[in-house]
Structures are given as C-alpha cells and as structure tokens.
C-alpha cells in the first residue's frame, strides 16, 4: 500500500467522532470507475473524458468537459481521453488532468464533496508498479485527507470475507488480475497480471469478424456492446445474429463462433496463472486454495466461464470456481471496507 496526506495539511488525526469522517472505496478501472462511500452511496461511471474539438462544439455542448456516458454519446464532437490504460493511470499531463476531473465528477455523483474528512482507498492492478501507485496517489491527494492504494483482487477478497486460502481472478477491461490470499496483504509472488482482459476480447472479436466477412465496418464500441450482451464460452445456447455494417448497408450476420473464440482467448492465461499460484503455494494448503477460486470483475459475467474453467482445471487435479454476486461494485466495496477497518496510524504514513 501507499499512503499520502493532503499536500497542504499536516497529517491530522481522523476525528474521533465517526460521523465526521467519510470513508471511500474506489475502483479506478480502465472502462468503469466505481465508487462506494461509508454513508451508503455508490455509483459507476465510464472512465471517459471529452473536451470540445473546436469553438462550434463548445458552443453546441455548452460544457468544457464531459464525463462518462455523456462524453461517449458526443464523442464525434470531442477530443476523447481514456486516462486509464491497462488498469494504470497514464503518466501524461492531459491524462492526469482528465483523471482528476473524472474523479471529481464521480465524487460529486455520490455527494462526497462535503467538509467531512475524507479517507479513500483506490484499487489498482495486482502488479501495479511503485511508480503507477505514486502517480495515482499524487493525482488524488488533493481530494482526500488520506489516500492509499491496494491490490484490486485483494479488495474483492476482503469484501467477500475470503481472507484465507482463496484465489481471486478479477477480469477487468484492461487487465486480468489473479491474487491468492492467505490472511495477510499479498506479496508480489502472490499476484499475477495479464493484459488479456475485456478490451482484448473486443479487439479479437473485431478481428475475427473482419476475417470472416469482407467489407464489414465494425468499431470496438460495437464489439464491446455485443460482448456485454452475448458473451459466452463453451457451447452456444443460441445463434448470435447481429446487424453488422457492410459498406453502406447493414446486414444480419452470424457471429456465434467469432464470439466464442474471442471470449475463450483469455482463458489460457487465466488457467496458467491459477496453475502457477496453486503449484507455488504451501503444499499443505493447495487443496484448500484450489477449492476456493472466485471470479470477479465485469469479465466474470461471461456465460459458462465458471463451469468451463472448472472443466479445464480437471487437468491439474481440479478446482472449484465461484462467481461474485456484484461484479460492478465488488472491488469498490472491498476498498471501502478496508478503508473503514484501517487503524488510524495507517493514514499518517507519508
């Protein structure tokens, strides 16, 4: 973890009266930013920021910055910023400023900009570098009286209460993070990250459809929508027939096998990561670990992923796979719970 206090404050002791403190959990994701607060509010916004391309767009939109779905809806008139790439905040001035604006927007969306002392934990990819963690804390420090970062899959495990002999597979948009949990904060050897995640599936789906059909005009946004509605692995329950732009027309085309191949493209890395984390665990507890595997993040909503993974794990002596009930807020809720449980002295480490 990394912790900072506000730059213009001495590290003040959190107020002894609980009502004077507001604790916040944030999942700053490549695709969505989810936020949960200790006063029971939560929201999820697309991690997208837009600014008008020219004076005409500025006059038409009457805003200097648009965030989330509104930015995506008007993207043809905007310069679009996606400040998080592969789960990491880009280290460019314009992206850092975009992330600040997005964080401010998210905080206002849950009325978290009062005068209460605010203490936040931000979930980051399992193997985020020290530099990446520092960039996030520096970006966010002006909003909070205390700020820490923590491994996103560990936050999921903390929310589930699965803190002993558990293995979390957190499939986001930019990264798939694997983390084994054994009663302590995870060490580097407990965690694995891969860039084969939701965005990778989108790109593979575009490629497979383009290879199958000539002159199609598919964007990754189209592929993302189709994936979010129809993703699956294993056996198809029905044929997927989509309205696909071809030249200047729209044709109904079957994309069932293309969807299957795209979604299954992330599975080898997941299975390899699970195998590695089990095989390097204490032998006395390997069976407990393999029997307590949790799928989290937006990617866990891929149909049949849990059952297909269990079938594949039979090749390495088996495994039991579960899905979290709340893939949207599991990480943010866990970060919130962790923030509320942190001893006061943790918020003073500079």
Pick the more confident residue, 114 or 335: 335
Q: What is the CATH number of the domain that holds 307?
A: 3.30.420.40
The predicted-structure confidence for 72-103, as pLDDT tens digits, reads as follows 999 999 999 999 988 788 989 999 999 999 99
Q: Record the pTM.
A: 0.87
Instruction: Please report the pLDDT score of residue 13 as a whole number.
Output: 41
Confidence band for 17, pLDDT divided at 50, 70 and 90: very low
Q: Is the pLDDT of residue 348 over 70?
A: no
How many distinct helices (H) and strands (E) make up the chain?
A: 12, 18
Question: In the predicted model, what is the mean pLDDT of residues 58-85?
Answer: 92
In what helix (H) or strand (E) does residue 150 lie, and over which residues does it extend? Answer: strand 146-151
37 and 77 together in one domain = yes
On whether both 149 and 174 belong to a single domain, the answer is no
8 A C-beta contact, residue 60 and residue 76: no
Average pLDDT in the chain: 90
Q: What is the pLDDT of residues 209-251, one digit of tens each?
A: 999 998 999 999 999 999 999 999 999 999 999 999 998 889 9
Burial (CB count within 10 angstroms: exposed 0-12, middle 13-18, buried 19+), residue 280: exposed
Domain identity same for 85 and 164: no
My answer on whether 147 and 66 are in the same domain is yes
Q: Would you say residue 342 has pLDDT above 50? A: yes
Rounded CA separation 119/263 (Å): 38
| pLDDT value, residue 155 | 95
Q: Once rounded to an integer, what is the mean pLDDT over residues 334-349?
A: 86
Range of the domain at 281: 160-196+265-323
Report the alpha-carbon distance of residue 171 to residue 200 in Å, rounded.
Answer: 11
């Amino acid at each position: 973890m990394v912790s900072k206090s506000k730059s213009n404050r001495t590290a003040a002791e959190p107020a002894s009266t609980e009502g004077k403190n507001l604790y916040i959990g944030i999942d700053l994701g490549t695709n969505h930013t989810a936020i949960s607060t200790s006063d029971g509010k939560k929201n999820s916004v697309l991690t997208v920021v837009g600014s008008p391309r020219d004076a005409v767009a500025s006059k038409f939109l009457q805003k200097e910055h648009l965030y989330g779905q509104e930015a995506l809806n008007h993207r043809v008139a905007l310069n679009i910023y996606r400040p998080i790439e592969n789960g990491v905040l880009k280290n460019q001035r314009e992206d850092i400023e975009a992330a600040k604006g997005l964080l401010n927007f998210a905080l206002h969306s849950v009325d978290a900009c009062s005068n209460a002392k605010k203490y936040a934990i931000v979930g980051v990819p399992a193997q985020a570098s020290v530099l990446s963690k520092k960039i996030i804390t520096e970006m966010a420090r002006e909003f909070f009286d205390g700020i820490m970062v923590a491994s996103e899959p560990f936050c999921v495990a903390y929310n589930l209460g699965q803190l002993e002999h558990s293995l979390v597979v957190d499939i986001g948009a930019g990264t798939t993070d694997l983390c084994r949990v054994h009663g302590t904060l995870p060490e580097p050897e407990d965690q694995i990250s891969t860039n084969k995640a939701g965005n990778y599936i989108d790109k593979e789906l575009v490629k497979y459809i383009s290879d199958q059909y000539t002159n199609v005009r598919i964007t990754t946004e189209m592929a993302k929508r189709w994936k979010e509605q129809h993703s699956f692995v294993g056996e198809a329950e029905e044929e997927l027939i989509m309205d696909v732009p071809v030249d200047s027309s729209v044709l109904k085309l079957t994309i069932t096998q293309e969807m299957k191949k795209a979604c299954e493209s992330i599975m080898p890395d997941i299975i390899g990561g699970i195998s590695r984390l089990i095989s390097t665990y204490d032998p006395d507890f390997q069976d407990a670990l393999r029997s307590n595997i949790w799928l989290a993040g937006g990617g866990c909503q891929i149909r049949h992923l849990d059952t297909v993974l269990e079938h594949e794990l039979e090749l390495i002596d088996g495994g039991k796979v579960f899905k979290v009930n709340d893939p949207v807020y599991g990480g943010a809720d866990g970060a919130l719970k962790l923030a509320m449980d942190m001893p006061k002295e943790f918020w003073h480490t500079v």
